[in-house]
Amino acid sequence: MDITSAKAAAALLAKHWKEGTTLAALPLSLRPVSRAEGYAIQAQIEAQSREPLFGWKIAATSLAGQKHIGVDGPIAGRLLAERVYCDGDTLPFGANRMRVAEAEFAFRMGRDLPPRQAPYALSEVLDAVAELHLAIEIPDSRYMDFVTVGAPQLIADNACAHCFVLGPKAPGVWRQLDLALHSVVGRVGDRLARNGLGANVLGDPRIALTWLANELSTIGITLAADQVVTTGTCLVPLEIQPNDTVVIDFGVLGQVACHFTSD
């Protein structure tokens, strides 16, 4: 895929994202046929942002999530600064069709992990982490039927990135905890409560972070210092509606919350 086609595909997806509308699929002339072409389009979505890249997200980190969107493994997306909120903020509900909130561990990097031939080991990646944050991701897609378009088009669609809530920094004890066994409780007002575990994220959120570092390495991208990586949902996504308040309880690590508007 040449740069002109990648820019055209990204512009089309960004237009639908901004307007809250959908398309059935990218036109054949602009449709990616590989993960690499999907990432090439995604890079052009980043290029339209007015701010430095905030970080990265990982989608489909569970077998159930992969089956749900018809992919055979995780996919990465970009967190754009314009779509990042803080703990306790009110987010626009808008035209979101997925209508779910996800409870996530998010790692802020302390130093660069540049591309290289040898895969990064988990210990190397953790050594490069500065902080762990608690987070909520609000995904969405620009496709009418995102479960059928396939991995390349989903990657082009920024891996269903939409809004992201960066919560408080976890206490330093997180490095002594087994995050795979760490319990998480998500609540939507008094209507819904759901339990989850860190193990639902590729077996361990730290494994997911390592996957992301190596995925970026294979496509020639540095996972940069100060970027945030949100690693995927610890529990079955929480169904949300306008006016809802979502609270995620990470036990000894703290809580993160957000509210949604009525529109």
* Burial (CB count within 10 angstroms: exposed 0-12, middle 13-18, buried 19+), residue 262: exposed
CA-to-CA dists, residue 182 to 123, 128, 165, 198, 201, angstroms: 19, 22, 20, 5, 11
Assign 159 a pLDDT band (cuts: 50, 70, 90). Answer: very high
The closest alpha carbon to 134, from 170, 164, 176, belongs to 170
Return the DSSP state at 37.
Answer: H
Q: What percent of the chain has pLDDT over 70?
A: 100
- Rounded distance between C-alpha atoms, residue 180 and residue 205, angstroms: 7
Tens digits of per-residue pLDDT, 10-34?
999 999 999 999 999 999 999 999 9
Residue 249: its pLDDT value, please? 98
Tens digits of per-residue pLDDT, 35-84?
999 999 999 999 999 999 999 999 999 888 888 888 889 999 999 999 99
Provide the 10 A C-beta neighbour count for residue 263: 9
Q: Are 164 and 135 in contact, with CB atoms under 8 Å apart?
A: yes
Q: What is the mean pLDDT of residues 143-153?
A: 95
Assign 155 a pLDDT band (cuts: 50, 70, 90). Answer: very high
